[in-house]
Amino acid sequence: MVEIPLKLGSNVALPKADLQGLLDNLRRMGYQIQGPQVRDQAIVYGPLESVSDLPRGYTSEQDAGHYRLIYTAHSRYFDVTPGAATWKQFLFPPVSELARFNRQPDGKWQVQTTPPDLTPLALVGIRPCELTAILVQDRIFLREECQDPIYRTRRQMAFLLAVNCLHPGGTCFCASMGSGPQAESGFDLCLTELEDVFLVEIGSEAGRMALEGLPVHLASAFWHQSAQKGLAEAREKMGRIIPNPEQLPDVLMNNLEVERWDDVARRCMSCTSCTQVCPTCVCWEVDDSSALNEQTAARERVWDSCFNPDYSYIAGGNLRPSTRSRYRQWLTHKFGSWQEQWNVKGCVGCGRCITWCPAGIDVTVEIAAIRQEVGI
């Protein structure tokens, strides 16, 4: 193998034994590394110290309302499909302190704006569907007319290392939504994991710098063919499918009174699980809290959910008082009006809302049932 110069857009091969070297380079660049690991019999995202923290050898069994982590002793680091955790926790945290209030000796309050966390993060192991979800949130939080300072700061300081998906899970349908199994853009580095090497695509200058000093080489035609074969097979092995998703805005928005909405409402518990595990949901509220000594207080932004009855409460009453109205709002927004609002799909097909629904409600089944009821 011949060593080659690194440049943006290059596709090179990195021996799997040198993955630790890549993590070490990221750490030397000043990044705190976050990645997938096993905790409490599930895949979560947390600090990575070495490759030994990665879920090597694991896969997962997923179905509607069902998740099981399985150890198979294979040699792949990134074979397992994600659990309930999403990468948005690092860019759009579940709780963000906005300001702190301190009572002064004269009884007046001093207000201090809380600055954003400036810790540079390297997010390692992002699946293509999850990367698409980050780009969706970019549309919302980084739009020109109104940028969110917390998200903007964290996003600008983040290094995104994506991993193409060769082994989709039982509830995945990213191929239907056009968000996988291959990452197309938006990453600093993108890996495709083969048996002995990683194929690496360089997406940014930061990505090029992360590979400096590592024994990368030209990727052989065999490795490229193996990667493309694996991706083609992954597209055919999706656990779920939504045919013709481009039709969904019209299908859903023109059929708001079909009986299926009543049927799913009888099963939905409005528990908010689907929105909490969704990588694109952005509902939030602002809470004020005070210490018992009445000397300090804090204002925080926290995740909320359109399934919470209070979320739709305004002066004069609740816009969506029933589970039926809240589920319908969520599904029609995610697969319909989101496209008109943000010019991008609101669902990336990761399947989390199916896997982690305690009632086993499957959005692909519900959409198919609505289509069948109206004859589309």
* pLDDT tens by residue, the chain, 376 residues: 445 778 888 889 999 999 999 999 999 999 999 999 999 999 999 999 999 999 999 999 999 999 999 999 888 999 988 899 999 999 999 999 999 999 999 989 999 999 988 999 999 999 999 999 999 999 999 998 889 999 999 999 999 999 999 999 999 999 999 999 999 999 999 999 998 899 999 999 999 999 999 999 888 899 999 999 999 999 999 999 999 999 999 999 999 999 999 999 999 999 999 999 999 999 999 999 998 988 999 999 999 999 998 888 888 888 898 999 999 999 999 999 998 888 889 999 999 999 999 999 999 999 999 999 999 8
pLDDT of residue 3: 56
Rounded CA separation 59/51 (Å): 17
pLDDT of residue 145: 87
What is the Rg, in whole angstroms, of the alpha carbon atoms belonging to the chain?
Answer: 22
Q: Which of 236, 271, 290 is the last residue of a domain?
A: 236
Residue 147 lies in a domain: yes
User: What residues are paired with 197 via a beta bridge?
Assistant: 15
**Per-residue CA distances from 344 to 46, 138, 280, 337 (Å):** 29, 11, 11, 10
- Let me know whether 125 and 268 are in one domain: no
Q: Is residue 2 part of a domain?
A: no
Give domain status of residue 170, yes or no. Answer: yes
pTM of the shown model: 0.93
In a domain, 6, yes or no: no
For residues 38 and 31, give the distance between their C-alpha atoms in angstroms, rounded to a whole number.
Answer: 22
What is the reported pLDDT for 269?
Answer: 95
Specify which residues 36 forms β-bridges with: 45
The range of the structural domain enclosing residue 46 comes to 11-94+109-236
**166 occurs within a structural domain:** yes
Asked whether residue 179 falls in the same domain as residue 255, the answer is no
Q: What pLDDT does residue 352 have?
A: 97
Q: 218 near 12, Cβ under 8 Å?
A: yes
Are 71 and 166 part of one and the same domain?
yes
263 and 178 housed in the same domain: no
Shared-domain flag, residues 43 and 169: yes
Give the residue from 236, 269, 290 where a domain finishes: 236
Q: Is residue 220 part of a domain?
A: yes
The verdict on 207 and 307 lying in the same domain is no
Domain co-membership, 38 together with 178: yes
Output the pLDDT for position 294: 87
Phi, psi (rounded to 5 degrees) for 344: -160, 155
123 belongs to a structural domain: yes
Cα 235 from Cα 264, distance rounded (Å): 29
CA trace torsion 198, 202, 207, 210 (10° rounding)? 40
Q: Say if residue 253 is in the same domain as residue 319.
A: yes
Q: How many domains does the chain have?
A: 2
| Whether residue 173 is found in the same domain as residue 121 | yes
Q: Identify the domain boundary among 214, 236, 258.
A: 236
Please check whether residue 139 is in contact with residue 343, taking contact to mean a CB–CB distance below 8 angstroms.
yes
- Note the pLDDT of residue 1: 46
C-alpha span between 91 and 74 (Å, rounded) = 32
Same domain, 210 and 288: no
Annotate 85-119 with DSSP letters as a single string. --THHHHS-SEEEEEEEEE-TTSPEEEEEPPPP--
One domain for residues 39 and 172: yes
- HEC string for 235-251: HHCCCCCCCCHHHHHHH
Give the alpha-carbon dihedral of 82, 135, 27, 53, to 10 degrees. 0
Beta-strand runs (E) in 247-323: 284-290, 296-303, 313-314, 317-318
Quick check: is 217 in a domain?
yes
- Residue 259 and residue 218 in one domain: no
